[in-house]
């Protein structure tokens, strides 16, 4: 059995990790940590775990946890992982970081967008960006995985085939994304109080969201040239889900079937990417509680633009589910192990 430690288990992504890993047939959750709920039973924080996970939350140094587990999941805000992860720690355990500290390869870009000193920049080169469908060969055998962000996962998967095959003008990419409130985390904030966000939709962090350089980095790698995008996130009054609608100019006219073949080239054999039938477009309700990413597109012949839509569950494929998928790759397990759930409906 793979011995697992979960750091930051009482956030939304952390509790989803607990939910998935206690049901994983090859795992034993040995430690769950929380600074906010030390010595409290996990089931007292999340009532869905009553009689399932009765362990108490502990606080323990990451290096000490690493000595007792095979893999350490870190579900904490940016800046904390980089201050605690070291080459010494990585000798003891593999690390899957759900935060942003190891996603951005250029330390200057990280400093600019996150306004935090990176405490272990020497590890950036050995960290692998864990977007499983695109990076699985790089993930295998590594010690440090940077689990992608939720907006990023959906945006990159939606656009990757077009960028990789050179079908679009890369300078014309616009990403319009909408997320459920769980994407803001569990900490109290006036903007996510019920009366503040219910019956309303708003754009936020316009031209300033920290997932922007992450999307640009990975699309630039795919294209072999620097890509700069417009990215605008929106908050919508639902619990889970992300819908990305991306726009770009086609370099030349193309039929739906021609573009469809490009998407199928990369995704037809992917367990968790569903290319929907022509004329059927992604909806967040059909992926909730699952590791699936649904994708489709429409070609606007009048403007010669392509409109690509993708959707994921931000807590599952956008965080915990993808982290478990990364673990499965690291330990040579079938990728679907422990995350092969049919989306739940209604929810």
Q: Catalytic positions, please?
A: 150
Report which DSSP code applies to 148: P
Helix ranges restricted to H, 34-99: 42-45, 62-66, 80-84, 87-90
Torsion of CA 153, 287, 184, 179, to 10 degrees: 80
How large is the average pLDDT for residues 179-198? 82
The answer, yes or no, to whether the previous bond of 251 is cis (omega within 30 of 0) is: no
Residues 6+ apart with CB under 8 A from 245: 175, 176, 177, 307, 308, 309
Q: Give residue-wise pLDDT tens across range 252-297.
A: 999 999 999 999 999 999 999 999 999 999 999 999 999 999 999 9
Torsion of CA 212, 343, 269, 22, to 10 degrees: 90
Nearest to 284 by CA among 183, 159, 136, 161: 183
What's the pLDDT score for residue 237? 95
What is the model's pTM? Answer: 0.96
Higher pLDDT, 195 or 221: 221
Residue 251 predicted with pLDDT over 80: yes
Report which DSSP code applies to 74: E
Q: Give residue-wise pLDDT tens across range 77-115.
A: 999 999 999 999 999 999 999 999 999 999 999 999 999
Domains and CATH numbers, the chain: 2-126 (3.40.50.720), 151-312 (3.30.360.10)
What's the pLDDT score for residue 257? 98
């Amino acid at each position: 059995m793979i011995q697992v430690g979960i750091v930051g288990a009482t956030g939304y992504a952390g509790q989803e990790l607990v939910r998935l890993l206690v049901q994983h047939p090859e795992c034993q959750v040995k430690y769950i940590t929380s600074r906010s709920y030390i010595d409290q039973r996990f089931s007292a924080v999340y009532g869905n775990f009553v009689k399932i996970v009765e362990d108490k939350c502990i606080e323990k140094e990451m290096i000490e946890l690493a000595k007792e587990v095979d893999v350490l999941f870190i579900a904490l805000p940016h800046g904390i992982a980089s201050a605690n992860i070291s080459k010494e720690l990585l000798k003891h355990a593999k690390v899957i970081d759900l935060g942003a500290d190891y996603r951005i390869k250029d330390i200057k870009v990280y400093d600019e967008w996150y306004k935090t000193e990176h405490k272990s920049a020497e590890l950036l080169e050995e960290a692998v960006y864990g977007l499983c469908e695109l990076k699985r060969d790089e993930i295998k055998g590594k010690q440090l995985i940077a689990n992608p962000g939720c907006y990023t996962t959906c945006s990159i998967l939606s656009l990757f085939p077009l960028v990789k095959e050179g079908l679009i003008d890369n300078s014309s990419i616009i990403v319009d994304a909408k997320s459920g409130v769980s994407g803001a985390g569990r900490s109290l904030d006036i903007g996510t109080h019920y009366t503040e966000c219910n019956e309303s939709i708003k754009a936020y962090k316009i031209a300033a969201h920290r997932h922007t350089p992450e999307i640009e980095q990975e699309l630039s790698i795919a294209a072999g040239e620097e890509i700069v995008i417009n990215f605008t996130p929106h908050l919508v009054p639902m619990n889970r889900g992300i819908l990305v609608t991306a726009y770009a100019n086609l370099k030349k006219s193309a039929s739906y079937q021609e573009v469809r073949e490009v998407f199928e080239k990369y995704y037809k054999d992917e367990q968790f990417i569903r290319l929907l039938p022509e004329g059927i477009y992604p909806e967040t309700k059909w992926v909730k509680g699952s590791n699936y990413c649904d994708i489709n597109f429409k070609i606007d012949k009048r403007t010669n633009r392509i409109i690509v839509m993708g959707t994921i569950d931000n807590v599952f494929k956008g965080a915990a589910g993808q982290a478990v998928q990364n673990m499965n790759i690291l330990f040579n397990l079938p990728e679907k192990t422990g995350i092969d759930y049919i989306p739940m409906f209604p929810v």
